Structure formats: C-alpha cells, structure tokens
Amino acid sequence: MTAKTSPEAPLPIRSVLQMVAQWIGKLGTIWVEGQITELTARGGTVFLTLRDPVANVSARVTCTRNVYEASVPRPVDGARVVMHVKPDFWVNKGSFSFTATEIRPVGIGELLARLERLRHVLAGEGLFNVDRKRRLPFLPSTIGLICGRDSAAERDVLENARRRWPAVRFKVEAVAVQGPYAVGEVTDALSRLDADREVDVIIVTRGGGSLEDLLPFSDESLVRAVAACRTPVVSAIGHEQDSPLLDLVADVRASTPTDAAKKVVPDVGEQLTLVRQLRDRGRRVVGGWVERELSWLGSVRSRPSLADPVRELDRRAEQVDALRERSRRSLTSSLDRSADSLEHLRARLVALSPAATLERGYAIAQRASGEVVRLAGDVKPGDELTIRFSDDRVTVTAQE
C-alpha cells in the first residue's frame, strides 16, 4: 500500500503509524531465534530483549509469567531460544515489540547439529586446511591478546609469558567473551590488532565454560575473520576437551591459556641452556678438528724431507755427483773403446791401401784416362802410360 502525499497534502503522523500497524499486523505469528538479554519480571509480565546471534540487532519481547515459566529449563540471560511471537506496533508511541506465546530453549543437541553443519561448510571451503596455517615467529616483539576483562585467562597468559621471557610486550584487548556482544567485540579487537604492524602474533583466549558460553567462538563471522587475518592467530579457548570452530581455523591451537603462552613465547632459561649446549658442542667439534690437524701437521713435520731439508739436499747432491761420475766413466770407457776400434780400422786400411803396396816396390800403370792397366797384352805400341811409384809418377810411351 503506497500513500500519495505531497508537501501541500501531507499525511498526519497518526495515519502513517496506523498504516505501519496495519502492515505489521498482517505478518501474523512467526517463529524467531535469538539470545535473551536484559531479562526482568514485573508482576505477571516478563520483559526481555532478544538479540540476533550474529548481527548487532535486537528487539523487545514481552510475555506472561506463565509462558515464561512453562519453558523447561527456564531461560536465563545469555540463553539461546526459539520463540513463537506476534509482532506488535504501538501507534501512540510509535514503538515496536514482540509478544511471545511460547518459548523453547535451543537444546544442546540442536546446537551441536548446527555447529557440525557449519563445520562441514567451512571445511569444504578449505578454511581448516593445514597448508593455510602459518608458523609462529620464534620470538615475537609484541603479542596481541584478546581476552575477557580482568579474567584469569589474561593473568595466566601474561604471567607465564613474562616468566618465560621478561622482555616480551603485550597489547591487550579486553572484550566480552560470552553473551550477545562477544562476537562483535572479539571481531573488532581482532581487526585492530591485525592492522597493527607491531603485533607479530594474536592470542584469542578465555577460560572454560559451557557449550552456550563458548558459542561466540564458533560463530561463522568470527571464524571467517580469523581466516582472513594476515597475522598468525593462536586459539586458547576453554580447556583441553573444549573445541570451538575457532580452534580449527586458527594457525595454532593451545589447550589452555597457559599452553598458549608456552607455544608463543620461548623460555629464556631453556634457550640459554640450548645456547650453552650448542656452544659446548661447537667447542668440542672445533677442538677435535684442531687436534686432528695438529696431529697431521706433526706427522708431516716429522718426515725427513721436512725435519732436515738440508740432509735431503745433501743426499740428492751425492746422488747427482755419483751419477755424474758414473756418466763420466761410462763416456771415457766408450771413447776408449771407440779409439781402439778406430785404430784397428786404420791399421786394416793401411794394410789394404795401394800406397802400402807401392812402398814395397810395386808400381801401377795407368792410361791417360786414369784406367789401370792390368795386363801387358792390353798395351799397344805408342800408348802413353803413367807409371805411379810410391813417391812420384812418370809418363812413358809403349814400344814394340
């Protein structure tokens, strides 16, 4: 229904509110879910605020005391419930509220079933994959801590961390850790710490509690906010047996707040002991290596060639002298043998030489061409011949 209005023909406010009341009245009765806060009872009427479990939205609800007491167990502040309500709009005040005709607490089984369905959805998106998880820094300079106001969990983390490493620094965000405001406050604190460049790791912690108390840490919006953080997040919610969805998406899960301090901050005593052990080990390794090298050097220095280098030179010089003398004797002997052989050859040549024959009284007749005349019949009268003697030669002419 759309009202036609203009600046010249406005509607009275009562007409507008009546139209709103008519539209709301057509909605009829509906089932709604939320978390009870600000629960009060006056006379036969119970007043409460029903908050949305995720968004920062709420509405006033009234019911009779009989309706409230008929719910088993009886709802208290912080309880998650389902209500059968009828929306009401009060024209005189322009206010809106619900009138509840039935209240049903959300049972543990129903809550667990919803959490299991949500866990499957988030796991299917890969938010719990191991390869998404980041390693914590060895020694964070500043730790972001999200915890309850003046809580035992805060004291446990601070005391144990400073006992292990006194110089560690914290940026503490005190927030509501249960109830309708918890999800929003924790998410806002997480965003502030994640945006802070000085913060190296974020711890989200609170002590133990019932399933309903820990429900904010299984909220889908908070789980997605942790998955989107650039800073490593440590979840330390409740005790060992508690396992909200925040534990699955966090980079590291600690069983208790004390365990979170131990996982994030190294123990200075343990590290000093480790340094001493490594230093001693290094000293032993280096000492052993030096001893081995000294032993090797001693064995090398004890060798004759290094222990007395001059002696080795003398020995080599003696070898050179011996080889030189041996070569001289060998060469002399070879020359003597060669000289004897040469003398023998010379004697043989002399014995076979024509000059030696001439000296014994023989002569050689040769033609002008140098040809030797061997037989007398080869000479004709008138041939000129050269007669060669041992000391000279004469030219003659042959006759009859």
What tens digit of pLDDT does each residue of 227-243 get? 999 999 999 987 766 67
Predicted confidence at residue 157, as pLDDT, reads 92
Whether the per-residue pLDDT at 226 is higher than 90: the answer is: yes
HEC sequence for 273-303: HHHHHHHHHHHHHHHHHHHHHHHHHHHHHCC
**Helices 152-164 and 257-264: angle between axes, nearest 10 degrees:** 30
Predicted confidence at residue 396, as pLDDT, reads 80
Q: Which helix (H) or strand (E) holds 84?
A: strand 80-90
- What distance, in Å, lies between the first and last C-alpha atoms of the chain? 184
Q: What is the CA radius of gyration of the chain?
A: 61
By the 10 Å C-beta count (0-12 exposed, 13-18 middle, 19+ buried), 280 is classed as exposed
Helix, strand or coil, per DSSP, at residue 117: helix
Distance, in Å, from the CA atom of 226 to the CA atom of 233, rounded to the nearest integer, reads 7
Residue 382 CB partners (closer than 8 Å, separation 6+): 397, 398, 399
Give how far Cα 259 sits from Cα of 153, 154, 256, Å. Answer: 11, 12, 5
φ, ψ at 286 (rounded to 5°): -65, -40
Predicted confidence at residue 390, as pLDDT, reads 72
**Residue range 219-225: mean pLDDT, rounded:** 90
Max CA pair span of the chain: 198
Per-residue confidence band for 384, with pLDDT thresholds at 50, 70 and 90: confident
Pairing of strands 45-51, 30-42: antiparallel
Whether the per-residue pLDDT at 110 is higher than 70: the answer is: no
Question: How many beta carbons lie within 10 A of that of residue 80, not counting itself?
Answer: 20
Q: Which amino acid is at 269?
A: G
Number of H helices, E strands in the chain: 13, 13
pTM of the model: 0.53
**Residue range 74-79: mean pLDDT, rounded:** 79
Pairing of strands 233-237, 80-90: unpaired
Q: Give CA angle at 264 (262, 268), nearest 5°.
A: 65
Burial 381-393 (b: 16+ CB within 10 A, else e): eeeebeebeeeee
Per-residue confidence band for 1, with pLDDT thresholds at 50, 70 and 90: low
**Residue range 349-362: mean pLDDT, rounded:** 74
Hey, which residues does 205 pair with through a beta bridge? 236
pLDDT, one tens digit per residue, over 271-305 is: 888 889 999 999 999 999 999 999 988 888 777 77
Q: Six-digit token pair at 274?
A: 């480790």
Residue with more model confidence, 251 or 301: 251
Q: Six-digit token pair at 375?
A: 């037989």
Helix, strand or coil, per DSSP, at residue 81: strand
List the one residue out of 177, 157, 178 whose CA is nearest residue 168: 157
**Residue range 150-172: mean pLDDT, rounded:** 90
**Helices 108-124 and 220-227: angle between axes, nearest 10 degrees:** 30
Residue with more model confidence, 288 or 382: 288
Predicted confidence at residue 234, as pLDDT, reads 94
Q: Six-digit token pair at 319?
A: 């070898």
Whether the per-residue pLDDT at 109 is higher than 60: the answer is: no
Q: Six-digit token pair at 110?
A: 């129903």
Q: Does the N-terminal peptide bond of residue 73 adopt cis geometry, omega within 30 degrees of 0?
A: yes
**Residue range 159-181: mean pLDDT, rounded:** 88
Predicted confidence at residue 35, as pLDDT, reads 83
Residue with more model confidence, 385 or 143: 143
**Residue range 8-15: mean pLDDT, rounded:** 82
CA trace torsion 232, 233, 239, 240 (10° rounding): -40
* pLDDT > 70 in the chain, percent: 96
Place of tokens 């405001």: 181
Q: Out of 178-187, 285-294, 354-363, 386-395, which region has the weakest mean confidence (pLDDT)?
A: 354-363
pLDDT, one tens digit per residue, over 307-345 is: 777 777 888 888 999 999 999 999 999 999 999 899 888
Q: Six-digit token pair at 51?
A: 């908050």
Per-residue confidence band for 139, with pLDDT thresholds at 50, 70 and 90: confident
On average, the pLDDT of the chain sits at 85
Per-residue confidence band for 364, with pLDDT thresholds at 50, 70 and 90: confident
Predicted confidence at residue 2, as pLDDT, reads 64
